[in-house]
Amino acid sequence: MHTKIKCLALTTLLLSSSASLFAVDLTKAYDMPEATKMIEKDLFPAAKKFTMPKSCNLSDPKAIARGAFMFNNLNGKKAKGKLPEGLDKFVKKTGKDGKVTKKPKQYGNCIACHDIEGSKGAGNIGPSLVGYKAMFIDTKVRDAQFVYQKIADPRVDNANTHMTVNLTTGLFNEQEICDYTAYVVSDKTKK
Ligand code: HEC
């Protein structure tokens, strides 16, 4: 009986000492910053509803021209053709060190997924937008508000969309979403 207790005490001693040998306190071995803020910053923002601003002038030929240019081009560096009024090819960016550099402006490159009048090498991930005005706007199946919301944040009426999110993400501003909308709903039959 006595030896049994001695044995148990020895085992307990061995176990506890080995536990403290292997259980290294990792909190001291690594720098562990609070990561919540970093993760939140990288999270994709939730789907958001937008109302087309009254300032959207859908029949303005300059807005339509800007929409067409951004629709058909990837960025300001690679863009072909005459730059429409009110659009930049490059934007100024201030780095962390305060240095100002010029970066090519990002455009929608909608042509990668959508066919449209006069397109060259359009993709077919999204539906063709050829004849959009006659097919959807004139028939009142869709309106400009629908198109504006679709471009701003397509997830509102299609949670599993494969289309890019353009306004919620800050990729483009309200004026630019207006320009895209103006181009999509414009009459492209008479040229
Ligand atoms: C990565 C592919 C992709 C890109 C890039 C893309 N779209 Fe789409 N788009 C889609 C898909 C897929 C749909 C159909 C699903 C949906 O409606 O969400 C769609 C739907 C639409 C519709 C709705 C058509 C209708 O009436 O049902 C419009 C308008 C539209 N896109 C315009 C644009 C514009 C303008 C751009 C550029 C800023 C653009 N898309 C960029 C994939 C894309």
Higher pLDDT, 34 or 55: 55
Spell out the residues 6+ positions from residue 117 whose beta carbon is closer than 8 angstroms to its own.
130, 131, 188
In this structure, which residue's CA is closest to atom 1 in ligand 1?
Answer: 163
Q: Confidence class of residue 42 from pLDDT cuts 50, 70 and 90? A: confident
For atom 12 of ligand 1, the residue with the nearest CA is 126
CA distance linking residue 56 with residue 62, whole number of Å: 12
Res 160 pLDDT > 70: yes
Closest ligand 1 atom to the C-alpha of 181? 35
pLDDT at 152 over 80: yes
Distance 6 CA to ligand 1 centre (A): 77
pLDDT classification of 133: cutoffs 50, 70, 90: very high
Most ligand 1 atoms within 8 A of CB, residue of 58, 74, 114, 165 to mutate: 114
For residue 154, which atom of ligand 1 is closest to its CA?
A: 18
Cβ-based burial of 88 (10 A; exposed 0-12, middle 13-18, buried ≥19): exposed
